Chains A and B, each alone.
Chain A
Amino acid sequence: MIIREPNKATVNILGKDHSGPSGGHLACQGCGGALSLRMALKAIGNRCIFVIPACCMAVIDGPFPVSSLGVPLMHIAFGATAPTATGIKAGLTTQGDNETLVVAWAGDGATFDIGLGAVSAAADRNDDYLYVCYDNEAYMNTGIQQSGATPKAAWTTTTPNKKPKTSIKKDIISIMAAHRIPYIATASPSHPDDFLRKFQKAKEIKGFRFLHVFAPCPPGQRFEEKNTVKVARNAVESRVFPLLEIENGEKLTLTDIPDPIPIKEYLELQNRFAHFKNEDIEAFEKNIEKRWQELSEWNRKQT
């Protein structure tokens, strides 16, 4: 593991006075989504409006009449995140408010699956808001069913080990890049410098911005609550979740090029991979390696 010197600016931002979600929110212990949300709000501030579809975060914010987010929040139906954000932005600008940042905050089910057509349309129109997908690689809120973001052969309740998922994780980054939107980035709460910088950068860009956040889920991915950041860090350092940004769908930069740790160190933390035999690990590794090579090649072409 590489130990980095903490960035002073990051420490300052994370140490700032309260921003949401406030204490008392309903996340499980060790929720990577809640941690990411807190970091995101620190980075973008409170002049914003959030749209959240059916997902863990819709529960985490709290039931009526409480809300832990601290910024205006519109709950909306599962597949409706992107167009609702589009409508909010249009409503604001046509009434003279060009400042308020609209943030769509949706899980992988809403983004990779049920809302994908609508996300694509918003990206195609280059609607001016920030879309964040916090990805825990399955429908965790409904009780761990496979989504388009679930890795091949990972255990979920609808892909039991005897009938595993046969397709690899959907390549959402390439899908979004194909729309040539101004900004795409991946971020992990294990890498706060990189995470905050990307959110702050995204905040200032005009047009459709897509941030893909890796949000480990202890009950869904089957690991101990204390290991959330470790799982996230190992995902990055094993190159399972590469940290990158893409400008205008073309210019790709790998923002962290780790000396890779063995993928086993990522997989073995999580019981959803406990049934993996050596050949499963090798197959998993092969896909990850192939993707990393593609991204490195893309990265090299730019520099």
Chain B
Amino acid sequence: MISEEHRIAITGNQAIAHAVRMARIHVVAAYPITPQTSVVEEIAEFCAAGKMDAKFIQTESEHSSMSACIGASMTGARAFTATSSQGLALMHEMLHWAVGARTPVILGEVNRALAAPWTILTDQSDSMAQRDTGWMQFYCANNQEVFDSTLLAFKVAEQVLLPAMVVLDAFVLSHSTEAVILPPQDLVDEYLPPRETPVKLDPDEPHAFGGMMFPDVFMEQRYKIEQSMDIAKEVILSEIEEWEKATGRQLKPLYPYRIDDAEVVVMCLGTAFGSVRYAVDKLRKEGIKAGGIRMWQYRPFPIKQLKELIPEGSQVGVIDRAVSFGISGPVGSEVKSVLSPESRNSVYGFIAGLGGREIQPESVESVFRAMLEGSADPVGINWVDVRK
């Protein structure tokens, strides 16, 4: 077990950098964007100081960063990049390629809203826009979780040959300092051994990768990606267990809060969950059976765990920090599709906290009250804290 001596004060971005260092990464390719920059600055420093034996490549665009990571990964190397917002959007083409090429690249994604208009503050519109690419996504709520998730992401990705994003809120985590326990290197080495890959770019065994596939096989290739997503659900659970055995810390696909007898539940991803807990406590004092769930594992979607956790017949409000314009929030509509109708839940989609607007305990309380009072729209978007 790990002693307190390994506890240091670092930001979320530094937590990623330390995890990448301890993962004994081979190649890091990145391009600067606020608020991701301090991830790659830290890694560049580690490389320069000889604390990391990796090749750091600064590219001219995020599109190229992801391309370089895919290339490196195809040789069997461990590859990492980090980005935010516009950078992730620019990567979009290559995010698909990373999945189709079955490269277990890891990406540190610092959630920042997409322009126009310009903002550097947090929401989840950038990463939610990539939900259909086939990347695994883990949304963190503290810096320890950022560190742990990054190492777990490598371990899972390399087993299922799918890439993974470790997602953290801009500034709230990326630039906020918290105590983080870094395990000793030998513990990490034991947890995450050198990568082994069944097939790679190798002159001794030449193969072509990514060439034309006709309709007779293309769908099977896609089916296999989905199969791997299914397998990943189990692999994530077993790696959570391994990590807990090694460190005593447990990650969870879903983090419930006072959920057992809850009649009204609010769900969200990321740091806004602090406000959810606060609002739950306040309503509980009033005798209202409120509860909360934070989703850490977003892709693959933890359907089974969600069904088990959500009390039958309860009202569920899902707070999205992203909008799928013209319909709803992405997570809200997915929760709706998973829960209804057999569990007799009513699911409502709420949009809050866009472009860095704070999701205060009062904001969450208003979400609970809308459901309790029956004023929430069961079909359309319920906007929180918006001047209409």
Contacts and interface: CB of A to CB of B under 8 A. Distances in A.
Given A90-B27, A100-B203, A121 B71 contact: no
Contacts of A84: 67-68, 70-71
A87 interface: yes
A75 interface: yes
A95 B26 CA distance: 8
The listed residue with most B CB atoms (<10 A of its CB), out of A67, A82, A83, A87, is: A87
Given A61-B208, A75-B210, A94-B26, A117 B73 contact: no
A74 B201 CA distance: 8
A219 interface: no
Contact of B64 (A74, A80, A97): A80
A47 B203 CA distance: 6
Contact of A87 (B53, B67, B203, B209): B67
A163 to B, nearest CB: 30
A186 B73 CA distance: 32
Contact of A88 (B53, B59, B74, B214): B74
Interface string B27-70: 10100000000000000000000000111011111011101111
A69 B206 contact: yes
Contacts of B206: 46, 67, 69-73
Nearest to B96: A77
Interface string A86-117: 11111111110100100000000000000001
A116 to B, nearest CB: 10
B69 A87 contact: yes
B72 interface: yes
A83 B73 contact: no
A76 B72 CA distance: 13
Nearest to B25: A94
Interface string B199-215: 00111011111111110
Contact of A72 (B94, B97, B201): B201
Nearest to A46: B203
A75 to B, nearest CB: 4
B61 to A, nearest CB: 7
B212 A59 contact: yes
B75 interface: yes
Contacts of B94: 77, 80
A46 B204 CA distance: 9
A83 B209 contact: no
A87 B27 contact: yes
Nearest to A120: B60
Contact of A64 (B69, B203, B213): B213
Given A49-B201, A71-B203, A94-B26, A87 B211 contact: no
Interface in A191-224: none
Contact of A75 (B64, B72, B209): B209
Interface in A10-33: none
Given A91-B26, A91-B76, A73 B209 contact: yes
Contacts of A275: none
A88 B94 CA distance: 15
A74 B74 contact: yes
Contact of B59 (A89, A92, A121): A121
Contacts of A83: 29, 59, 63-65, 67-68, 71
A58 B211 CA distance: 7
Nearest to A64: B213
B74 to A, nearest CB: 6
A114 to B, nearest CB: 10
B329 to A, nearest CB: 30
B93 interface: yes
Contacts of B73: 87, 91
A79 B92 CA distance: 13
B27 A48 contact: no
A94 B55 contact: yes
Contact of A80 (B67, B76, B79, B213): B67
A150 B59 CA distance: 28
A226 interface: no
A93 B97 contact: no
B221 to A, nearest CB: 8
Interface in B63-104: 63-65, 67-77, 79, 93-94, 97, 101
A39 B202 CA distance: 22
B63 A79 contact: yes
A62 interface: yes
A74 B212 contact: no
B116 interface: no
Contacts of A77: 67, 93-94, 97
A118 B60 contact: yes
Contact of A86 (B63, B71, B97, B209): B71
B59 A63 contact: no
Contact of B75 (A58, A88, A125): A88
B364 to A, nearest CB: 42
A77 B217 CA distance: 20
Nearest to A48: B203
A94 B27 CA distance: 8
Nearest to B103: A87
A97 B202 CA distance: 11
Contacts of A49: 75, 201, 203
A74 B54 CA distance: 23
A91 B210 contact: no
Interface of B: 26-27, 29, 53-55, 57-61, 63-65, 67-77, 79, 93-94, 97, 101, 201-203, 205-214, 217
18 contacts: A67-B207, A72-B205, A83-B29, A84-B68, A84-B70, A87-B29, A87-B73, A88-B72, A88-B75, A90-B26, A91-B75, A93-B55, A100-B203, A118-B60, A118-B63, A120-B60, A125-B57, A125-B58
Interface of A: 46-49, 51, 58-59, 61-64, 67, 69-77, 79-80, 82-95, 97, 100, 117-118, 120-121, 124-125
Given A118-B61, A125-B58, 10 more contacts: A49-B201, A64-B212, A64-B213, A83-B64, A86-B64, A87-B27, A91-B77, A118-B59, A121-B61, A125-B57
